[in-house]
Chain A
Amino acid sequence: MLLRIDFETDRPIYQQIRDQIVEGIAGGALTPGARLPSVRQLAADLDINLQTANKAYAILQAEGFLTVHRREGFIVRAFDEMRAAPGHLRDLERKLRPLAAEALCRGLSPDEFAGLCRAASDTVKKGEGR
């Protein structure tokens, strides 16, 4: 899968990496057990700081999407393990809240917002471009 860093936006680089890797896993471009490039290789390839690449992987590991092996480096975790991560539902709800608020302010009904969520979910699942 291709990871693209946009240097013109104000979205932090580590966030761009984190979001794209999660999307890659959800869409099937990265399958459980897949090996990711080393921190050094990723930083060199993307022309970013070593600390930035490190931070992206550290977040993904803390969130339970990646695990680190002594020899293999960072690899994608199994789906059961991702589901079993403690507190992930509460975390998702917390992230969804400001979006739900924004949708209500813009006059979207709960059903319309749910429709948007559904469409986004379908797009990600099909692995379609951003």
Chain B
Amino acid sequence: MNTLVFQTYHAIVLAAVFALGAAMPWLTRKDIVFGVRLPEDFAAGEAVRHLRRSYLNAYLAAAAVAVVLLAAQSVVWPMLKYDGFDVLAVVALMTAFYWAYRAKTLRLKADSRVMAGRVQVTVAEIGPLAPENLVSWAWFLLPLGLAGANALLGLWRYPNLPDRIPMHFGADGLPNSWAHKSVGVVLLMPVIQFVTAAVLMVSFWGVRHSKRQLSPQRPAESARQQALFRRAWSIFIVAAAILTMLTMSVIFWVMVGFVRLCPDAMMAATLGPSAIVIVYAIVLSVRLGQSGSRAAVAASDAGDNPTAVARDDDRFWKAGLFYCNPDDPAVFLEKRFGIGYTVNFANPKAWLFIALPLVLIVVALLLTRF
């Protein structure tokens, strides 16, 4: 029964990711088409509309084939099913289509000479035009407090713990691996919680201080959309931090015998919050679009310029995915294709952020040794 629930859940998530891939060209910024910088008026024209439609048809055909293949694979080699193989397949499919249509868009851009004779400008919002309406850091006291309380709980329960402690739970909600009792093993989960909270706090900072690329054609409107976008995703990060910490805490409480849960309740406690986070992310992505480009805001035509174009920054996006600009002090910025943020890979501060999850793994390995 439990495995069936888990499989259904997995299939729904996979279907949602497939669907998001199909919708992606309609969710990105109005001046970025398949990762290529274009003037907004041109990107709204017939040539680009044709390109998007062609992408949708080809993508849906390929996705149908991929679904049949994945279903066949799960029958022939059932062992592969939970190894993330299907997720990898979906990501590979989306990337392949992105690259193919990025190449087409780059050709269209070159052939139509659309950038020639246009003024390249950048616009920044420096006054109280689009008030930030910041989300408070204090929200992080909740996940941090939970991690701290768990560390104390682990130490308090330590003398009464059995010699074998369950370390990992399967899809059915039952433990499937154990470790010998030690202080390191008991403190492993609270430490993982602290590092996870740290990663999310840095992301929260990153959203607030991300590079702001206003539309040069309608700067005031895009400033408001982006302020809305930053706020919505800041709230998302806080919510995701709290939900993830709750899930981890429930697992930890079962590990140290603080609570007893039947396998069904265990599964509900772990799948429930992650389902909320995924649905929340999809709803935000579709409602607001990348950069808030789909958000309705109070209209303003201050500073509008119907032909201006932002600086052509295509060359800084390696493979259309990785932003590498050593002259740019920005650490975090919006993704080129997809919803959310990425880092400036040419900035050493970004390397620190990427290394944080590695720190998590090293700490986990060290702790389980003593």
Cβ–Cβ < 8 Å partners of A30 in chain B: 126-127
Q: How far is the CA of A129 from the CA of B219 in the complex (A)?
A: 14
Closest approach, in angstroms, between the C-beta of A66 and any C-beta of chain B? 12
B91 at the interface (CB under 8 A from A): no
Closest to A76 in B: B127
**Contact pick for B329, options A5, A34, A43, CB 8 Å:** A43
Cβ–Cβ < 8 Å partners of B127 in chain A: 1, 24, 29-30, 34
Main secondary structure of the interface of A (DSSP, over half): mixed
Interface residues in B228-260 (C-beta closer than 8 Å to A):
none
Task: Knowing A4-B121, A4-B303, A7-B311, say if A44 contacts B328 (CB, 8 Å).
Answer: yes
Q: How far is the CA of A42 from the CA of B214 in the complex (A)?
A: 12
Please state if A34 and B128 are interface contacts (CB–CB under 8 Å). Answer: yes
Closest approach, in angstroms, between the C-beta of A119 and any C-beta of chain B? 22
Task: Knowing A43-B329, A44-B330, A50-B329, say if A3 contacts B121 (CB, 8 Å).
Answer: no
Closest approach, in angstroms, between the C-beta of B330 and any C-beta of chain A? 4
Q: How far is the CA of A6 from the CA of B123 in the complex (A)?
A: 9
Closest approach, in angstroms, between the C-beta of B121 and any C-beta of chain A? 5
Please state if B209 and A41 are interface contacts (CB–CB under 8 Å). Answer: yes
Please state if B120 and A42 are interface contacts (CB–CB under 8 Å). Answer: no
A47 at the interface (CB under 8 A from B): yes
Residue among A3, A8, A37 with the most chain B CB within 10 A? A3
Cβ–Cβ < 8 Å partners of A43 in chain B: 328-329
Q: How far is the CA of A29 from the CA of B313 in the complex (A)?
A: 30
**Contact pick for A42, options B126, B302, B311, B313, CB 8 Å:** B126
Chain B 203-225 near chain A by CB (<8 Å), digits 1 or 0: 00000010111101001100100
Please state if A45 and B329 are interface contacts (CB–CB under 8 Å). Answer: no
Report the count of interface residues on A (CB-CB < 8 A): 27
Closest to B127 in A: A1
B327 at the interface (CB under 8 A from A): yes
Chain A 37-71 near chain B by CB (<8 Å), digits 1 or 0: 10011111111111000000000000000000000
A2 at the interface (CB under 8 A from B): yes
Cβ–Cβ < 8 Å partners of B57 in chain A: none
Cβ–Cβ < 8 Å partners of B213 in chain A: 45
Chain B 291-324 near chain A by CB (<8 Å), digits 1 or 0: 0000000000011000000010100000000000
Please state if B303 and A129 are interface contacts (CB–CB under 8 Å). Answer: yes
Please state if A2 and B302 are interface contacts (CB–CB under 8 Å). Answer: yes
Cβ–Cβ < 8 Å partners of A29 in chain B: 127
Q: How far is the CA of A48 from the CA of B120 in the complex (A)?
A: 13
B8 at the interface (CB under 8 A from A): no
Chain B 103-145 near chain A by CB (<8 Å), digits 1 or 0: 0000000000000000111111111110000000000000000
Q: How far is the CA of A34 from the CA of B125 in the complex (A)?
A: 13
Please state if B120 and A2 are interface contacts (CB–CB under 8 Å). Answer: no
Q: How far is the CA of A7 from the CA of B216 in the complex (A)?
A: 13
Please state if B124 and A46 are interface contacts (CB–CB under 8 Å). Answer: yes
Q: How far is the CA of A45 from the CA of B119 in the complex (A)?
A: 18
Cβ–Cβ < 8 Å partners of A7 in chain B: 120-122, 311
Closest to B310 in A: A47
Cβ–Cβ < 8 Å partners of A4 in chain B: 121-123, 216, 219, 303
Please state if A44 and B329 are interface contacts (CB–CB under 8 Å). Answer: yes
**Contact pick for B327, options A2, A6, A49, CB 8 Å:** A49
Please state if B120 and A37 are interface contacts (CB–CB under 8 Å). Answer: no
Q: How far is the CA of A47 from the CA of B316 in the complex (A)?
A: 12
Cβ–Cβ < 8 Å partners of B313 in chain A: 47
Cβ–Cβ < 8 Å partners of B223 in chain A: 2
Residue among A24, A30, A36, A37 with the most chain B CB within 10 A? A37
Q: How far is the CA of A5 from the CA of B209 in the complex (A)?
A: 20
**Contact pick for A3, options B124, B209, B211, B311, CB 8 Å:** B124
| New A-B contacts (7) at CB < 8 Å, excluding given A2-B125, A47-B313 | A1-B126, A2-B129, A36-B126, A37-B124, A44-B329, A44-B330, A45-B212
Binding site for A on B (CB under 8 A): 119-129, 209, 211-214, 216, 219-220, 223, 302-303, 311, 313, 327-330, 333
Binding site for B on A (CB under 8 A): 1-8, 21, 24, 29-30, 34, 36-37, 40-50, 129
Q: Which 3 residue pairs of A and B lie closest in terms of their CB atoms, listed nearest first?
A: A1-B127, A44-B330, A45-B124
